[in-house]
Structure 1
Amino acid sequence: MIPQEELRRFGTDGLSSETVLESRKQYGTNELTPPRRIPIWKQYLEKYQDPIIRILLVAVVLSAIVAVLEGESLLDTIGIALAVILATTIAFLTEFKSNREFDALHAMRDDTAVKVIRNGSPSSIPMRDVVVGDIVLLEAGDMVPADGYLLDASETEVDESAFTGESEPIRKVVSDTLLKGSYITGGRATMITAAVGDQTKMGEIASSLIEGSRPETPLQIKLRNLAEIISRFGYLMAGLIISVVLIQDFIIGTPPQTPLEIAGVILHACMFAVVIIVVSVPEGLPVSVTVSLALTMRKMTRAKSLVRRLIACETVGSVTVICTDKTGTLTMNKMEVAASSIEVPSLSSELPQDPSEWITLNAAVNSTAELEPSRDRLLTVGNSTEAALLRWLHRSGISYSDIRKAWPVISQDYFTSKKKRMSTIVAYGSRRYILMKGAPEIIASYCSPPPDLSMIHTLAGRAMRTLAFAHAELAPEESEPAVMQWDGYVGIRDEVRPDVREAVKTCNDAGITVKMVTGDSPETATAIARETGILSDGIVMTGPVFRGLSDEERLHIVPDLEVLARSEPHDKLLLVQALQARGEVVAVTGDGTNDAPALRNADVGLAMGIAGTEVAREASDIILLDDSFPTIERAIWWGRALFENIQRFLIFQLTINISASILTFISPLLGFPPPFTIMQLLWINIIMDSLAALALCSEAPHPALMTKKPIPKNASVITPYMKRAILLTAGLYILAGVGCMAIGFPFLEKPEQQASVFFSGFVIAQVWNGINCRGINGIMPPVFRGNPVFYGIMGCIVLVQILIVQYGSDIFDTVPLTPLQWMGIIIGTMPVLLIWPFLRYIHTKSENV
């Protein structure tokens, strides 16, 4: 920041148009350069780092080699390649679109109007146009647009919680510094700009953020482990096939004699193995995961959660601990009168006659705050506590502005932290009255007889800021009476959001621990934490004590720590690191600039969309558009639904892959022709699976998702229920397939008809199994309602299958079937639906053991 002495050359009368251009050229613009982001081409290529995608890329190469060596069509290779490109492109474009929406949030902030002196007169300019040397006029409610020094300060108070974490405003005097992103909460000020854009304190912190430095997510870990299992299965199948072929040709049959014949046998075995590997790999899985993430991202955005990283949709569903702010997240971020010594405010047109009327007059006149109408709400201009009193009057139908006109102010003695009171002298005809409000113990010391403060102590224990009121008539020439008359009190606080307690309970029922991290006092934090259900029998600790602990002590204490009060942003980072060291998946909320390290290092960073700074939002994974804790709970719900949808698809596709690969493997060994052609496998393994992915990932969340504990980070994506479902269903398909190949279908004479019925029966059976896959872990959604997308897509699969068989004989090696034969296939495969009740029975029995 430029020193004050150097700024003197700009003067205090404001810049001219020419000087503005010179300053902008020399010191830059008032816009933050986005953190060093990975180039777009690199972001796209990173999507190919997914383990399943890597396996598919190998399959593409192997499939191409086989096709070239056998002189076959490259359609299979092209199909796998298209699946890879589709999955990676959807993921990239979805994140790109989300980041465009995120940038729009910044643009709105940069367009905020700022009052400056230009060319000798006040004018309003966008925040982005402020330059070094600009004289900025600030008043209560304004955000400081750049770093600078105060030239004039009149009862100026500033909220610098974005940098300090301290919720109480700081009194500023002439020559003090103001920081970009802080807020004027009281008084007026004139500032000369000393740093803009990247040169500000906020810019320095923002420049240290590098996109991409985040921990591996639970889903990425699970899919990597799954990819290893699939790879081992593929290699095992390939090894078995090569071994069997070599045994058949070299030991059982007539051994090849020449080197060329030996090479031909080995090449044939290897190509057969490659076909099985291609069949084994779930090509539709990346598409399923990506489409599920993209759909969930859109639904979460509609639910007030703007997702910036696609994978964060699932990560938020794996959260085990939420470290949440208090103000604005658990509370309404708006001070309101919550209790008072009078029933309702009231005021007659005459001199007040009772405490209710004196308190009403005091609240309206003894104040510097204003309420500014804006659409359907009243905006606070000035002190938030005084504004709460004005809204209290407004709710009772009393106009504070009318009272101020009727009671002209003679003088005011403003509130200071030292005096803890404010007084205003008003005129009523020829008489003068003094109205005083402030800390109850201070006001009580001026009153006689002394009031009973027991109820006030009760309100303070409920996290309320208490204000007392008193008045007295002044004798001529008197500025302060010897004794005042006590009128009463009010309790003011930032009310807890009405749905927070239920949201916290839902999180607790779901096995998620909620911890409060706030800059407020331990007393206030404890009261709010108890009211919201966050604090039960855990520990309340202050930031200085917490940061003074050793790393091992923090590791030991964080499970029991429920409230961290008087905390600084760095304390939040220490808490996140300690929890992660214990294996927790941590979500963190933050709105301040100094919250960026904690947001960046958390498994899921949740920034405030309304109160959050640019830096906090840039460091986040998800932006809460309404700054509300219940929105976090809904995001977790959607995240868990996403993971369950991915599991549904895994049951569906792995059942197909295992049964298809084993049938393809054993049919030649049993002397049968291959059950599927390459084009049929292309339809079954890529296109149909991709359509099924769309169907199964459209399943809506159900209430039971929030009644079980989070899935551990290192747990397998394949649950015991899924293993039973996959192995049982695939086993029945294999037995039925072998039986059909051995016995054949009745009333079918030609082998082409047998092959077409076998192909169609396998596909239709998978459609029936898709209904089974909707029910996972023993829970089945309404079978024939609740998800029209699923039945629409499955109906399309059946329709396309009929068209393939009836009209695609040249491509798919099929022959047309009669309507009666189609009816037989549909009815004959319907018993697949009986598998789910059996799985449900086994699952319930295993849970009760």
Structure 2
Amino acid sequence: MEGDPVSEQTRASLPRAAEDEPDRVAARPETLRVEAVLAALGTDAASGLGGEAVRARAARSGPNALRAGPPVPAWRRLLAQFADPLVLLLVVAAFVSAGVWVEESLRDDRAGLPFEALAILAIVLLNGTMGYVQEARAAQAIAALRRMSAARARVIRDGVRREIPATELVPGDIVRLEEGDAIPADARLIEANALRTNEAALTGESVPVPKDTAALATGAALAERRNMVFSGTTVSAGRGLGVVTATGMRTELGHIAGLLNATPEETTPLQAALARLGRRLGLAVLVIAAAMAATIIFAEGVRTVPALLDTLILAVALAVAAVPEGLPAIVTAALSLGVLRMARRHAIVRRLAAVETLGSADVIASDKTGTLTRNEMMVRTVVTAGGAIDFDPAPAGLDRDAERRAEVEAALRAGALANDAVLQRRDGGWTVQGDPTEGALLLAARNAGLDLDVLSRRLARVAEIPFSSERRRMSTVHRDDGRRLVAAKGAPDTVLSRCTRERAGAQDRPLTGERRDAILAANAALAGRGLRTLGVAERSLPAGEAAPPDDSVERDLVFLGLVGMSDPPRPEAREAVARARAAGIRPMMLTGDDPRTAAAIAAEIGIPGDGTVLSGADLEALSPQGLDAAVRTISVYARVAPAHKLRIVRALQRNGLIVAMTGDGVNDAPALKAAEIGIAMGVTGTDVSREAADIVLADDNFATIVAAVEEGRSIFANIRKVLRYLLSSNFGEVATMAFGVLLASVLGLSFTAGELVLPLLATQILWVNLVSDGAPALALAVDPADPAAMTRPPRPRAEGVLTGAMAWNIGFIGLVTAGCCLFVLDACLPGGLVEGRDLPAQGTLAYAQTMTFTTLVLSQLFNALNARSGRASAFVGLFRNRWLWGAIIVTLLLQAAVVYTPLLQQGFSTVALSAGDWLFCTAVASLVLILEEVRKVVARAMRPEVPHAERDVH
């Protein structure tokens, strides 16, 4: 971009708003020259905005984000907790009970307060409040995750390149754009080097749009504004520099978005499955409740209106108690808390469904650079016509050989020129902003004695032919004392194919076939040592010869040498690979490096295989059937293009495997979407790859993927623990009531005809349901991960959240719970099968119901210990979950309050119990734990090794 200073006439043509507010540009910035736009926005292309200007503009323009819909008021979210049909039935039951109380009060002034109605309403309010709090916490967790995974933008401020959250952009910011970036705001282009953008989402244009910096005539349609880039679109190729002209709702995307709400929260497959399970349970329980009500009416001879209303209330309470209505909220809390734990381990989950799938992953197909290795490239060797020179980190042995020094400096100079990275001094050292490979070339040039600042000023860049996965090289054109200098770097074979001469000392000589073979042999030797290699070349154009901005300038190059670099494996990579293999997960490496480099790194970190490496060329030659067979045994793939990754994913899936795939480039997006779990690089990845992924690695580390798998398995296991606990406890309540009615005469529940006599009252059932579905279930949702979780094979994808083994286990515990409760009931009533205990003189029925009520609560607390595993003893890691023990203590205190507090005694029809009564209830309730321990011992003895489906949680 070149042009004259802004004229007074141009300034006069700008709208008054642009003069009054420098953060608002003219309505049509595409019609103005770049200088006019920069002047209107009060910014500078080289240094960007200063801190004070940014703060002032941020205060006026607000965050760079689309306006979300109005937040749902807290009172509406609270009322939504009571919209469930079963909860509404409870409210109706409370009003019915209140009606009965009114009728009794009219007949008897001593009727007292409507304790039953008040107790039901109190339980409804408490349950709704707990649901509201759980949902609010889950929403806060999800919002925190969204903030973690928010888009970022590369800007120039105060003359320094930096990366900031895209929401902090303001008009006048100078943004840098590269291939794969999601464009964060509307911007007028200042520079455009082979820049093309994908604007299909905004304009419907199906092919990438080439961009330039020339001003346009007034009236250009949105799709024709070639000097503008727009928020919500992506860079498909090239690079550029732009000045932000509009942010947030003032962007073209914001105009279209209007008042649309932000992205809605997702319902995961697990939540949908649980919702289906809840509906089926609800339907079944409603049928059972209706049948029980009919049985009570006919078996008990219920005839009076109060007794009929009590029967109705009991049926509704039983239906509500049997359905684990708190399960969805608890599952959401478990997912959100688990996802936050994953975020603390540097795995940012963008889609909750990925958490469920992680436990089923059979294969982790990972990039090498930065994921399995440190992504800290360093030049180790430079091979020129005179031989190899080692770097550690500076070149050795050049002081006495001027010709060798000239060769090495020429090679490193070309690598430093054909380069987009920047070295910055930080904390006493050098940091690289940009590609690590390019940063290594800059560091090597600096260590060899080249002054990079002088080099960039003397040889200013005027054009660029950017790198692409198809070309595998990059070239730049520079001013050189009135001439032009072309610098090129890339894969050695592609660079060498464009060369006709070779630099030897200070002279250039023809590049013979023999020398080509020698260079390729040297390249193979470097690759065999696990080094990544680049070829570098240059060409000086005669004065007057044009340098077209395309690959036609890459001809008749002078080959300068080979650069060998290493990116050592991360220290934790070998251990992470071993853990993945122990968990039945197969690690695979997919890299664009040379096959020998890939084989060396794979062997060093322990990726399985016999040393066989499949290259991209090999993949091209394979049929789909051949590739299906290859992926069963080959775990290392080299020289792969993004299209090859998609083929590999499809082949693995045809073999019935669940694939987690990593990627960082634009063209990786199809493979990331195709894989069951797409994992994008958070540091080196493009915005496009992050948008396509389910998980973003904040540290680009393979060990983080393995840690995320472990967390995913733990989350799914905890959800199963909660499900086992809730369903078995609720089944125990239903069984207690059902068998209590059917066996009423046997148990001694025969009282005056016309009265409703049951093992438990409706309010007691509701209390048990609330207490049992509350604190203990939430505590199980955060149970610590099983240390042996990563020693088991992946969970089959087709396996449901509720397995057959779990269903039998739930039925067994429910029947044991019912047996314990009915035994205590029988022992506390005169008559029946069990000889009665020493009973109080009065209130025998209330005493028996209080004992049964307390036994049921204690049984479910013992069941909470059982639910931590379907096979392992409850005494293994008994005190690992301090939250569970806290929940048990809270539940016991609440039960004591119901038994001893006078007001609650009236509401729940309880009487005070002695210490001996508590011991008797505890001893009987402990059978839930004891008999389940016996069952586990038998199960382990009969089947020491079981399928993963039955190793569901521990």
Query: TM-score, structure 2 length as denominator?
Result: 0.64
Q: Are the aligned partners of 1:313 and 1:639 in contact in 2 as well (CA < 8 Å)?
A: yes
The alpha-carbon distance between structure 1 residues 747 and 266, as it changes in their structure 2 partners (threshold 3 A), is closer
1:277 aligns with 2:319: yes
1:371 pairs with 411, 417, 423, which one? 423
Q: Distance in 2 between matches of 1:783 and 1:800?
A: 26
1:735 aligns with 2:766: no
The amino acid that maps onto 1:764 is: L
Q: Are the aligned partners of 1:589 and 1:599 in contact in 2 as well (CA < 8 Å)?
A: yes
Deviation of 1:686 after TM superposition, in Å, equals 0.7
Q: Are the aligned partners of 1:509 and 1:706 in contact in 2 as well (CA < 8 Å)?
A: yes
Structure-2 residue corresponding to 1:16: 39
1:240 aligns with 2:303: no
Q: Are the aligned partners of 2:135 and 2:332 in contact in 1 as well (CA < 8 Å)?
A: yes
Q: Are the aligned partners of 1:136 and 1:190 in contact in 2 as well (CA < 8 Å)?
A: yes
1:789 pairs with 883, 888, 903, which one? 883
Structure-2 residue corresponding to 1:129: 170
The amino acid that maps onto 1:454 is: A
1:667 pairs with 732, 735, 740, which one? 740
The amino acid that maps onto 2:72 is: W
1:634 aligns with 2:707: yes
The alpha-carbon distance between structure 1 residues 152 and 220, as it changes in their structure 2 partners (threshold 3 A), is closer
Greater shift in the superposed pair: 10-19 or 741-750: 10-19
1:696 aligns with 2:763: no
The alpha-carbon distance between structure 1 residues 402 and 91, as it changes in their structure 2 partners (threshold 3 A), is same
The amino acid that maps onto 2:851 is: V
1:498-552 deviations in Å (ceiling 9; x for gaps): 544654564465455667777x489599759956748888987689979999xx9
Structure-2 residue corresponding to 1:746: 837
Q: Are the aligned partners of 1:604 and 1:622 in contact in 2 as well (CA < 8 Å)?
A: yes
The alpha-carbon distance between structure 1 residues 375 and 651, as it changes in their structure 2 partners (threshold 3 A), is same
Structure-2 residue corresponding to 1:295: 337
The amino acid that maps onto 2:786 is: H
The alpha-carbon distance between structure 1 residues 848 and 568, as it changes in their structure 2 partners (threshold 3 A), is closer
1:457 aligns with 2:524: yes
The amino acid that maps onto 2:440 is: A
Deviation of 1:190 after TM superposition, in Å, equals 6.9
Q: Distance in 2 between matches of 1:640 and 1:391?
A: 43
Quote the sequence identity (%). 26
Unaligned ranges ≥5, structure 1: 117-124, 164-170, 427-434, 472-484
Deviation of 1:223 after TM superposition, in Å, equals 0.6
Q: Distance in 2 between matches of 1:412 and 1:343?
A: 30
SS at match of 1:306: strand
Q: Are the aligned partners of 1:362 and 1:437 in contact in 2 as well (CA < 8 Å)?
A: no
Q: Are the aligned partners of 2:714 and 2:789 in contact in 1 as well (CA < 8 Å)?
A: yes
Deviation of 1:185 after TM superposition, in Å, equals 13
Q: Are the aligned partners of 1:151 and 1:191 in contact in 2 as well (CA < 8 Å)?
A: yes
Q: Superposed, which structure 2 residues align to 1:110-129 within 5 Å?
A: 113=157, 128-129=169-170
Deviation of 1:390 after TM superposition, in Å, equals 4.8
Structure-1 residue corresponding to 2:119: 75
Q: Distance in 2 between matches of 1:161 and 1:727?
A: 57
Deviation of 1:191 after TM superposition, in Å, equals 6.1
Q: Are the aligned partners of 1:336 and 1:495 in contact in 2 as well (CA < 8 Å)?
A: no
SS at match of 1:767: helix
Deviation of 1:697 after TM superposition, in Å, equals 1.7
Structure-1 residue corresponding to 2:864: 770
Deviation of 1:301 after TM superposition, in Å, equals 2.2
1:678 aligns with 2:762: yes
Q: Are the aligned partners of 2:780 and 2:868 in contact in 1 as well (CA < 8 Å)?
A: yes
Q: Are the aligned partners of 2:899 and 2:912 in contact in 1 as well (CA < 8 Å)?
A: yes
Deviation of 1:314 after TM superposition, in Å, equals 3.8
Unaligned ranges ≥5, structure 2: 1-24, 44-56, 102-115, 161-165, 201-209, 215-225, 383-387, 481-486, 539-557, 750-756, 829-835, 947-954
The amino acid that maps onto 1:351 is: D
Q: Are the aligned partners of 2:154 and 2:177 in contact in 1 as well (CA < 8 Å)?
A: no
The alpha-carbon distance between structure 1 residues 233 and 323, as it changes in their structure 2 partners (threshold 3 A), is farther
Q: Superposed, which structure 2 residues align to 1:597-676 within 5 Å?
A: 606-612=679-685, 617=690, 622-669=695-742, 670-671=744-745, 672=749, 673-676=757-760
Deviation of 1:634 after TM superposition, in Å, equals 1.9
Structure-1 residue corresponding to 2:642: 567
Deviation of 1:287 after TM superposition, in Å, equals 4.0
1:337 aligns with 2:379: yes
The alpha-carbon distance between structure 1 residues 85 and 139, as it changes in their structure 2 partners (threshold 3 A), is closer
Deviation of 1:813 after TM superposition, in Å, equals 2.7
Q: Distance in 1 between matches of 2:234 and 2:30?
A: 21
Q: Are the aligned partners of 1:645 and 1:697 in contact in 2 as well (CA < 8 Å)?
A: yes
Q: Distance in 1 between matches of 2:464 and 2:242?
A: 23
The amino acid that maps onto 2:328 is: P
Q: Distance in 1 between matches of 2:741 and 2:488?
A: 97
Query: TM-score, structure 1 length as denominator?
Result: 0.71
Deviation of 1:73 after TM superposition, in Å, equals 0.6
SS at match of 1:288: helix
Q: Distance in 1 between matches of 2:182 and 2:739?
A: 73
The alpha-carbon distance between structure 1 residues 560 and 46, as it changes in their structure 2 partners (threshold 3 A), is farther
Structure-2 residue corresponding to 1:816: 912
1:279-319 deviations in Å (ceiling 9; x for gaps): 21124423432332232233222112334556654454455
Q: Superposed, which structure 2 residues align to 1:424-503 within 5 Å?
A: 439=492, 445-446=502-503, 454-460=521-527, 464-467=531-534, 490-492=563-565, 497-500=570-573, 502-503=575-576
Structure-1 residue corresponding to 2:282: 231
Q: Distance in 1 between matches of 2:254 and 2:589?
A: 28
The alpha-carbon distance between structure 1 residues 66 and 548, as it changes in their structure 2 partners (threshold 3 A), is farther
Q: Are the aligned partners of 2:395 and 2:448 in contact in 1 as well (CA < 8 Å)?
A: no
Deviation of 1:40 after TM superposition, in Å, equals 4.2
Deviation of 1:404 after TM superposition, in Å, equals 9.7
SS at match of 1:129: coil
SS at match of 1:626: coil
Select the structure with the greater relative contact order (CA < 8 A; seq sep ≥ 6): 1
Q: Are the aligned partners of 1:30 and 1:146 in contact in 2 as well (CA < 8 Å)?
A: no
Q: Distance in 2 between matches of 1:53 and 1:583?
A: 42
The amino acid that maps onto 1:10 is: R
SS at match of 2:788: helix
1:215-243 deviations in Å (ceiling 9; x for gaps): 86331243134214412430342243144
SS at match of 1:295: helix
1:81-138 deviations in Å (ceiling 9; x for gaps): 543453355335533453356347648648763869xxxxxxxx9983346xx99899
The amino acid that maps onto 2:769 is: N
The alpha-carbon distance between structure 1 residues 212 and 174, as it changes in their structure 2 partners (threshold 3 A), is closer
1:455-497 deviations in Å (ceiling 9; x for gaps): 52144467754247999xxxxxxxxxxxxx9998542255554
SS at match of 1:16: helix
Q: Are the aligned partners of 2:95 and 2:117 in contact in 1 as well (CA < 8 Å)?
A: no
The alpha-carbon distance between structure 1 residues 384 and 443, as it changes in their structure 2 partners (threshold 3 A), is farther
SS at match of 1:372: strand
The alpha-carbon distance between structure 1 residues 797 and 560, as it changes in their structure 2 partners (threshold 3 A), is same
Q: Are the aligned partners of 1:56 and 1:80 in contact in 2 as well (CA < 8 Å)?
A: no
Structure-2 residue corresponding to 1:41: 72
Q: Are the aligned partners of 1:656 and 1:730 in contact in 2 as well (CA < 8 Å)?
A: yes
Q: Are the aligned partners of 2:850 and 2:899 in contact in 1 as well (CA < 8 Å)?
A: yes
Structure-1 residue corresponding to 2:901: 807
1:718 aligns with 2:769: no
Q: Distance in 2 between matches of 1:785 and 1:736?
A: 26
The count of residues paired between Structure 1 and Structure 2 equals 784
Q: Are the aligned partners of 1:59 and 1:277 in contact in 2 as well (CA < 8 Å)?
A: no
Structure-1 residue corresponding to 2:852: 758
Greater shift in the superposed pair: 457-466 or 589-598: 589-598
Deviation of 1:690 after TM superposition, in Å, equals 0.4
Q: Are the aligned partners of 1:522 and 1:565 in contact in 2 as well (CA < 8 Å)?
A: no
Q: Are the aligned partners of 1:596 and 1:616 in contact in 2 as well (CA < 8 Å)?
A: yes
Q: Distance in 1 between matches of 2:251 and 2:668?
A: 17
The amino acid that maps onto 2:773 is: D
Q: Distance in 1 between matches of 2:895 and 2:872?
A: 30
Deviation of 1:685 after TM superposition, in Å, equals 0.6
Q: Distance in 1 between matches of 2:179 and 2:667?
A: 23
